[in-house]
Amino acid sequence: MQVITASRPEWIAPFTGLQPGQFRKLVRLVAKRGGDEIADGRPGRQWALPLADRVLLVATYWRTNLTMRQIGPLFGVSHSAAHRVIDTIGPLLALAPVRKRRIDAVAIVDGTLVPTRDHRLATPSKNYRYSTNVQVAIDAETRLVIATGDPQPGSRNDCTVYRACGIAEQLADRPVMADGGYQGNPEVVMPYRKPRDGSELPEWKEDLNATHRKVRARVEHVLSRMKNFKILRDYRRAASTLADTVSGIAHLHNIILTD
């Protein structure tokens, strides 16, 4: 028996964070990207769930981080069918590349550690768990996520991951702000560091650092809201799927923020 269905709008907001109107737009986008054309993966077998319910299943899984054996019965399907739905629909929810931007648009970038159980990529990190380092960039004015990087081992610092994950190329020719952990990336605007001789910074530099901190804090707020999707607090799936998951959650965050 199916418990949760997109045909009952009252289930959408509690399990996805999206309003019914936002969710319908998301379903139309997934359909446009080919969601209706994807078969179940077995010859002659159609999906047991309509497209809207499959999108709802993925968003619910990301929001709650239930196990497959828990989320399958909620939608009246087996845990293996739920797994196939997530594998096929998840990538279709990914964040679309930004096509237009203002010349003076400033990006803010920061990294976050995602506890990941797949030790093929995750490594012990400063949070004392096996984690991956995920870079996220937002537009400083709108606070919308504009780019996400490929996950890297959690033991690597931000200055290295920024170059290795591909996000630097996505932000090319755009002013980028970050914290002091991005040393070695001259194109990134960082706060002034105190001189090595222990002397104090001039007052004008302290004022600029204070302004920098206030603006840069916006990306930390976005990362906090993205982690309302609990899957980013304990990622149990293969690490190779994490990039699509982070991008999809960034897309859902943007929908929630703008609509």
Q: Where are the domains of the chain?
A: 9-93, 107-239
| Spatial CA neighbour of 16 closest among 53, 44, 45 | 53
pLDDT tier for residue 98 given thresholds of 50, 70 and 90 = low
Strand pairing report for 107-115 and 176-177: parallel
Helical (H) or strand (E) element with 146 = strand 145-148
Q: What is the pLDDT, as a whole number, of residue 188?
A: 93
Q: What is the pLDDT, as a whole number, of residue 154?
A: 94
137-194 per-position pLDDT tens digit: 999 999 999 999 999 999 999 999 999 999 999 998 889 999 999 998 989 999 998 8
Point out the least confidently predicted range of 64-78, 88-102, 113-127, 186-200: 88-102
Q: What is the pLDDT, as a whole number, of residue 42?
A: 61
For residues 28 and 42, the answer to whether their CB atoms sit within 8 Å is no
3-state helix vs strand vs coil in the chain, percent to 5: 45, 15, 40
Q: What is the pLDDT, as a whole number, of residue 44?
A: 59
238-252 per-position pLDDT tens digit: 999 999 999 999 999
State the CB neighbour count (10 A cutoff) for residue 145: 26
SS3 labels along 203-215: HHHHHHHHHHHHH
Q: Name the more confident of 173 and 40.
A: 173
For residues 186 and 198, the answer to whether their CB atoms sit within 8 Å is no
Q: How many angstroms separate the Cα of 170 from the Cα of each of 75, 205, 213, 257?
A: 37, 30, 23, 22
For residues 201 and 192, the answer to whether their CB atoms sit within 8 Å is yes
Q: Does the model's pTM come out above 0.85?
A: yes
Question: Residue 189 pairs with which residues in a beta bridge?
Answer: 177
Burial 18-51 (b: 16+ CB within 10 A, else e): beeebbbebbebbeebebeebeeeeeeeebebeb
150-161 per-position pLDDT tens digit: 999 999 999 999
Q: Name the more confident of 14 and 101.
A: 14
pLDDT tier for residue 126 given thresholds of 50, 70 and 90 = confident
216-228 per-position pLDDT tens digit: 999 999 999 999 9
Strand pairing report for 145-148 and 130-139: antiparallel
